[in-house]
Amino acid sequence: MVFTKVVGRYRRRTEPVVGETPKEAIKYVRDYHSFREAENAYGISKSTICKYNKKQLEEIPAELTQGRFKYVFTEAQEAVLVQYALDVSRRFYALTRKAIGQIAYSVAEENGLDHRFRNGTASDEWVSLFIERHPSWHFEPEHEQV
């Protein structure tokens, strides 16, 4: 029996719903229109409108997220992590994959970010995807020449 590692390669199929559109669709439904009419008028799925119809308008976020695929860090925060890794690699040696995972975990904890990292380190899958997103530099330490 051969086990292969399943690495997430999530690709979003729909465009995110942003701005006042979700709130306008909810108001449309609350003005005694059907969910299907609101779906056709605003381009938001019926199930999403039903989900947010139960909430107050102030509780509806500006951008509706879909699914569980959320990035831990923003692009700016990841850029800081990349810059830190570059600085360390210039001074000493390049970071290992394990070190990158530990740094990501500690940064997420210190900043109080919502994450799924366990056991003091980011998962190997997260590190692989992080490296894939930032291919311009090399992580593995070089061997010393004697």
Is the model's pLDDT at 129 over the cut of 50?
yes
138: alpha, beta or left, given left = phi > 0 and alpha = psi -120 to 50?
beta
26-65 pLDDT per residue, tens: 899 999 999 999 999 988 888 888 888 888 888 887 777 6
Cα diameter, the chain: 79
Q: What is the mean pLDDT of the chain?
A: 81
The 8 Å CB, 24+ separation contacts for 81-89 are 81/107, 81/130, 82/134, 82/137, 85/137, 85/139, 86/137, 89/137, 89/138
- pTM of the predicted model, to two decimals? 0.56
